[in-house]
Chain A
Amino acid sequence: GNSVTQMEGPVTLSEEAFLTINCTYTATGYPSLFWYVQYPGEGLQLLLKATKADDKGSNKGFEATYRKETTSFHLEKGSVQVSDSAVYFCALSNNAGNMLTFGGGTRLMVKP
């Protein structure tokens, strides 16, 4: 079956620092890949997605590139803000008989 592995948190950064949250996956077929963000006390919001190899998803300064050769979808942002403090989930879905699969989440804490 499918699986998603994220780096464990928390990740603590100072404002304006560079962010990388690693995500690797195993899957059959050709999955779509997603990053979701969860702010305290709220549901998950889709942050960005990529549907095929070499696609780059981007939103709100975050970006991630679908790397089939390394089965990775790392989340990056050049300059984080305090308001980016949240939990980030990597996920995948495919049409090969497996459901939407989430990683365990990575908590990001940005200090002023």
Chain B
Amino acid sequence: DGGITQSPKYLFRKEGQNVTLSCEQNLNHDAMYWYRQDPGQGLRLIYYSQIVNDFQKGDIAEGYSVSREKKESFPLTVTSAQKNPTAFYLCASSIGVYMNTEAFFGQGTRLTVV
């Protein structure tokens, strides 16, 4: 079945450590996105990518980094510079960034800093 897979589902990180969240899609979508969701809040865009080897900052990119070396993969690194990283992270993909189409979401990764 086609879809988006995020791993791991739960992740614990010590303060000062970098951690990478995985996102893989087999929908042949060009566009991929990372969102952050805090308890009781909506979605905030961290980074997005329209095509391989290209990505753009979203609204809250500070303290995060991404790469897009393959069409299927868009990993997110939460660096030690991110001051409050504990949150629920959602990866999504769509046919294109600026098209009249919906996005498909993964199941999310809950990151907790301990």
**A binding-site residues for B, Cβ under 8 Å:** 30-32, 34, 36, 41-46, 49, 51, 89, 91, 93-100, 102-105, 107
Contact = CB atoms under 8 A, between A and B. Distances in A.
Interface stretch (B60-68, B75-83, B91-99): B91-99
B90 A44 contact: yes
B105 A95 contact: no
Interface of B: 4, 6, 33, 40-43, 45, 48, 90, 92, 94, 97-108, 110
A98 B98 contact: yes
A16 B61 CA distance: 43
Contacts of A97: 98
A105 B42 contact: yes
Contacts of B103: 93, 100
B99 A49 contact: no
